[in-house]
């Protein structure tokens, strides 16, 4: 059997999703024999799916609109409903005065979300600041620009207290819209499912890994403390109370609103609805192969 290639994210917030893959002894099957895993940043996961060098990836939500023929694993997302702690705008100036913003481009979704914030709410009627791609080092970013966008682990570990303005984008989105925000989710190239023995069981494999990961948050915090230098208690609070790992109707509504606003600011040309993996599209892929 050909192994399915997974492109995963090397951030703390994805660790619960990867539990079975990183701890195969707790899985229901021999995952190392069925999957090849590589780790990168969210934007590179999307590129790997686009190029066909990966079959499955945790992609930034906005990139779903730019890659054809993807289906999404249901009931799993990286989301928040309020403060997220790991998506921040840190600024030396009030939001309405920002003219340059250093953008950590690891996640394209966060860049688009920040542009929406400026054009819709922080600097309405304007195009917003100039976004300048810079590696995620907060001091270097703010030495060059008025403000900085940080995501993931660099945001969790940044020394933000010495700067006058810090905005948690998850909290700001929910305050403005009343909805959760979906940052990323598992997407699969539909062609990878054609005649593959794992096509029918793929959803269960990934959902089981998420459930086992959430049952082992204490162990995840112990594993990650040496990597990030954050207290175990803070990590557990982040994974259990800031992050949301489901993908229900409320989260889907928040995602669709994000897509709508992204179209309004011309970040995407149009958007298509999320196509979740089902027996319908697995069967249609198999039928396409046989024709």
Same domain, 111 and 167: yes
Residue 180 near residue 254, CB atoms below 8 Å: yes
Same domain, 101 and 65: no
Same domain, 243 and 103: no
pTM of the model: 0.93
Name the pLDDT band for 278 (thresholds 50, 70, 90): confident
Could you give the CA distance from residue 228 to residue 226 in angstroms, rounded to a whole number? Answer: 6
Q: Calculate mean pLDDT across residues 119-138.
A: 95
Domain finish residue from 131, 160, 177: 177
What CATH code is carried by the domain that includes residue 161?
Answer: 3.40.190.10
Chain Cα centroid distance, residue 220: 19
Q: How confident is the model over 44-100, as pLDDT tens digits?
A: 999 999 999 999 999 999 999 999 999 999 999 999 999 999 999 999 999 999 999
Q: Is the pLDDT of residue 288 over 50?
A: no
Same domain, 113 and 203: no
Domain finish residue from 161, 177, 193: 177
Domain finish residue from 117, 151, 177: 177
Same domain, 210 and 239: yes
3-state SS class at 289: helix
Domain count, the chain: 2
Same domain, 159 and 104: yes
Nearest one of 61, 27, 30, 57 to 44, comparing CA atoms = 57
Q: How confident is the model over 185-203, as pLDDT tens digits?
A: 999 999 999 999 999 999 9
Q: How confident is the model over 6-25, as pLDDT tens digits?
A: 999 989 999 999 999 999 88
Could you give the CA distance from residue 119 to residue 136 in angstroms, rounded to a whole number? Answer: 23
Q: How far is CA 255 from CA 155, 273, 284, in A?
A: 22, 10, 26
Structural domain for 160, as ranges: 87-177
């Amino acid at each position: 059997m050909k192994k399915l290639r997974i492109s995963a994210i090397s951030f703390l917030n994805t660790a619960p999703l990867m539990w079975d893959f990183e701890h195969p002894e707790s899985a229901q099957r021999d995952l190392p024999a069925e999957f090849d895993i590589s780790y990168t940043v969210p934007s590179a996961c999307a590129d790997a799916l686009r190029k066909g060098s990966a079959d499955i990836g945790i992609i930034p939500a906005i990139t779903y609109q730019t890659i054809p023929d993807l289906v999404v694993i249901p009931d799993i997302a990286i989301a928040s409903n309020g403060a997220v702690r790991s998506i921040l705008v840190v600024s030396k100036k009030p939001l309405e005065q920002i003219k340059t913003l250093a953008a950590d481009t690891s996640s394209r979704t966060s860049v688009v979300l920040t542009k929406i914030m400026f054009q819709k709410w922080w600097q309405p009627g304007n195009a917003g600041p100039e976004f300048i791609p810079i590696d995620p080092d907060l001091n270097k970013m703010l030495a060059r620009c008025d403000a900085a966008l940080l995501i993931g682990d660099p945001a969790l570990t940044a020394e933000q207290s010495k700067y006058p303005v810090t905005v948690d984008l998850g909290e700001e989105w929910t305050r403005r819209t009343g909805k959760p925000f979906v940052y990323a989710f598992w997407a699969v190239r539909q062609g990878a499912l054609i005649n593959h023995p794992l096509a029918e069981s793929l959803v269960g494999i990934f959902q089981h890994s998420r459930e086992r990961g959430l049952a082992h948050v204490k162990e995840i915090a112990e594993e990650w403390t040496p990597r990030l230098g954050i207290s175990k208690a803070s990590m557990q609070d982040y994974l259990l109370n800031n992050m949301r790992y489901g993908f229900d109707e409320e989260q889907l509504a928040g995602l669709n609103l994000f897509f709508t606003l992204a179209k309004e600011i011309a970040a995407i040309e149009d958007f298509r609805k999320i196509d979740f993996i089902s027996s319908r599209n697995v069967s249609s892929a198999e039928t396409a192969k046989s024709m």
